[in-house]
Structure formats: C-alpha cells, structure tokens
Amino acid sequence: KNPRVYEGEVAFERQLPGNMTLSASWVVTRGERLPNYWDANLAPTTTTKVYDVVNAAGVTQSTSTVPFFVTGAGSSGRIDPTSGGMLAEFSNVNSWYNAFVLTLHKNMSHGIEILANYTLSRATDNGQSSQNQGGEGNDSGIGVLNPYNQSLEEGRSSLDIPNRFSTSVIWSPQYG
C-alpha cells in the first residue's frame, strides 16, 4: 500500500516593539503505512534470549527478553529452507511528530536582520529502521526485533531530536 502523511500547523504571531515579531506554532505530522524492510523468509520463532543490562561496574541493573531467530546448523529458521534470506519491503510503520516552535524575527533595520527558532518536539514510530540515501531506501538500519510482532518496536523515533535551536543573522553594510 502507498504511504500517507497528514500534516497540520496552528500558529499565533505577535508584533513586538523594535521591528520584531514573535510567533508560537504547534506542528503535527502523522505518517501511515511507511516502508520497512526485513527478511521475508524468516520463520516465526518460539525461542527467546535474555540479555543483561549492566552498569559501568558490570552489575546487572535489569534484563531484557527478546525473540531469538535460529538460523544455525540443525535449524534453517527459514520458511523455505532451500532458499536464503529474501529482503522484502512492507508498508506497516506508523509515526507521529508533534512540535512546539517558538520564532523571534527582527526585520532588517540598521543593516541587521535576525531570525531565531527553538523547537521542542517528540517523534515516535513503531519500527522505522531503514535509512534514505540518495532517494533510495536500504536495509542499513538496525532492523526490526520481531517482524511478526511490530508492537515491540513502538517508541521514540531514531530521527527524534527533542530540543533544537537555530539562528541566523544577516548583516548588510551601509557603505559602498
């Protein structure tokens, strides 16, 4: 299925003294059926593996149990054991992006213009693991934990940047 993206923005702007404006915006983006890639010849598993999460001293702080796909000797781990991995694209990732953007703009006066932006945001998805290089997707991401249970991938997006500040200053000399 083709992916869909819905976007919306609400902004309030206020004129300030000194030829400046201040705006506050809320931006939301919803992505549905975004592409994801994994081995379509991987057989479902009933085996799990437990990993220890340790601190710097090597003391176990918690454990994490994850599905374990066996493809070694004695078990092909494949739906079709006569074939190897078959990388396939699926349209099953959904994402949310919410942001509050604060912008201060000083219009050009006395040869100086200033634009400053602060963004507070949150980006979540349920498994967008691929990367985009030159307009083509590839499977160089970390991959999905379990292609048969996409809910395990729910969390902060790998592209999430919760705090961002940017500014630009333009100077136009009054001589010459």
Digit-coded pLDDT (tens) for 90-149: 888 899 999 999 999 999 988 899 999 999 999 999 887 545 444 444 444 456 788 888
Element of type H or E holding 74:
none
Q: Which amino acid is at 124?
A: T
Q: Which residues contact 85 (CB under 8 A, 6 or more apart)?
A: 39, 41, 42
Query: Are 28 and 98 in contact, with CB atoms under 8 Å apart?
Result: yes
Distance, in Å, from the CA atom of 44 to the CA atom of 48, rounded to the nearest integer, reads 12
- For 22-58, what is each residue's pLDDT tens digit? 999 999 999 999 888 888 888 888 888 999 999 999 9
